[in-house]
Amino acid sequence: MPLKELGEATYQELAALMHEAVGLSFPAAKKPLIASRLAPRVQRLGLDSYEAYVALIAGGDDGGEFQMAVDLLTTNETYFFREPAHFDLLESELSHSRPQRLRLWSAASSFGDEAYSLAMLLSDLQQTGRIGADWSILGTDISERVLRSAVEAIYPEERLRHVTPERLKRYCLRGSEGSAGLVQMQARLREHVGFGQLNLCRPIEELGPFDAIFLRNVLIYFDAPTKQAVVERVLTQLRPGGLFFIGTAEGRVPGVAGLQVLSPGAFRKVAA
């Protein structure tokens, strides 16, 4: 049976549900995209309408289907050392300050590419004596599925296309035979990186203070008030003088005070 078209009322109900639960903002123009992303899942479940699917995920006992819908509706495309200018800035700052203890937070870590990119950089800095050995990285995301993948730390080689040959040799294990084309982060790198589930649109427990926070390429999913609230919530976990990064295409969040612009998408938290 062909799937019925996603009606306007059902789309508005879905959009309201996603906004209330996880802060996602879906304007009217995104209805065709949302329908195309959900269609295969709706059909796989044997449902004949989007209405039935929205009713399922709105219920209290959905068997984890709401989380599946969130995964389908958010783009998790990422790769190692995305937006390299941010990593260069972090390296420059740390090389100057030479901290002996470091805590970094990848606040929308997806599959972990960003967190392990940071781990490679910090490990390099430690080996050259520019930072101490006491450093760690926390990666958080709302999706359990991507976090499970991040803990495994196995990636297609294509995702590491911006990793230098020296770092590939130093930090990665290449698969062979049935695992050809895959790369796993070495255990000595993984031991510095931890992951946990977190909804940025809910109160955040005391995770910090962190010396740098990366909140990149997630604000695009939120409307303006939610963006401001999320950024202000996240910044409570950043120490004064710490570095804060968002995606370069995300601009500057209006209404958020206490940030000094360093470069596109890069800021310093000004001491109160």
* Residues 82 and 106: beta-carbon distance below 8 Å: no
Domains and CATH numbers, the chain: 8-73 (1.10.155.10), 84-269 (3.40.50.150)
Q: Of residues 175 and 60, which shows the higher confidence score? A: 175
**What are the CB-based long-range contacts (under 8 Å, 24+) for 247-255?**
247/83, 247/216, 247/217, 247/218, 247/219, 247/220, 248/83, 248/85, 249/220, 250/216, 250/217, 250/219, 250/220, 253/219, 253/227, 253/228, 254/224, 254/228, 255/228
* 37 carries an active-site annotation: yes
Q: Could you report the per-residue pLDDT of 134-183, keeping only the tens digit for each?
A: 999 999 999 888 999 999 999 999 999 999 999 999 999 998 888 889 99
Q: What would the pLDDT profile of 175-210 be if each residue is shown by its tens digit?
A: 888 888 999 999 999 999 999 999 999 999 889 899
71 is catalytic: no
Say what the pTM is: 0.87
Catalytic residue among 103, 141, 167, 211: 141
d(CA 180, CA 50): 39
The one catalytic residue in 37, 159, 170, 233 is 37
DSSP 198: -
